[in-house]
Amino acid sequence: MNTHQQHISVKVQQGFTLIELLTTVIIAGILLAIAVPSYQEFIRKNHTVTQTNNLVSALNLARSEAIKRGIQVTIHRKGSTSQVWDSGWDIFTDINGDGTLDDDADANLCETGEDCLLRTYDSLPNGYTLRTGANYDDWIAYLPSGLSRSSSGTANDTFRVCANNADTSKSRAVAVSMSGRPRTSTGTSSCP
């Protein structure tokens, strides 16, 4: 017998049985049912924190620019509804301190005697909200001293950032003191 004849031909079975495939699909389904809600909560928290950080960044930018430039710098909400900042906001120098961006709408930006748009922020993701109390209904501004003031004259208020599920325990608050410093915390009294 030669060595070629000594090898026995064995047919190797490849693939899965129907029972093995169904078991794998069921286990995958169970794992997905457990993981998807956790993942959605992770995404909600991430968006809420990101929007909070954007707001704090805007407040700090406006304060530092007011001090650096020696004039009032204003953050004004976009949109037409008081206390609703969901549509985003603009930061600009505010020479006359009226909370309104005064620009002659020509091609030359930041000319002498007109306000200068420093930065604009887009609206929040769909379903997320950013609201204030009555003090920051339309705008918040920083004076050259670094102190804050608002459209109602009062200098302190709280912004509320809420996710699309309106869970007040996981929403974020940004309280701005009369000295102009923002402080963040988790949880708000209401959403939106």
Q: How confident is the model over 68-116, as pLDDT tens digits?
A: 999 999 999 999 999 999 999 999 999 999 999 998 888 787 888 899 9
Assess if residue 12 is contained within a domain: no
Tell me the C-alpha distance between 51 and 179, whole Å.
23
pLDDT tens-place string over residues 130-168: 999 889 999 999 999 999 998 777 779 999 999 988 899
Assess if residue 9 is contained within a domain: no
- Global pTM reads 0.80
* Tokens (6 digits) for 1: 């017998």
The pLDDT value given to residue 177: 92
In 3D space, the residue among 179, 90, 188 whose CA is nearest the CA of residue 132 turns out to be 188
- Per-residue pLDDT at 2 exceeds 70: no
Residue pair 114/95 in contact by the 8 Å Cβ criterion: yes
Assess if residue 21 is contained within a domain: yes
CB atoms within 10 A of CB 43: 13
The pLDDT value given to residue 77: 96
Assess if residue 1 is contained within a domain: no
Assess if residue 11 is contained within a domain: no
Assess if residue 37 is contained within a domain: yes
Q: Which domain holds residue 134?
A: 17-186
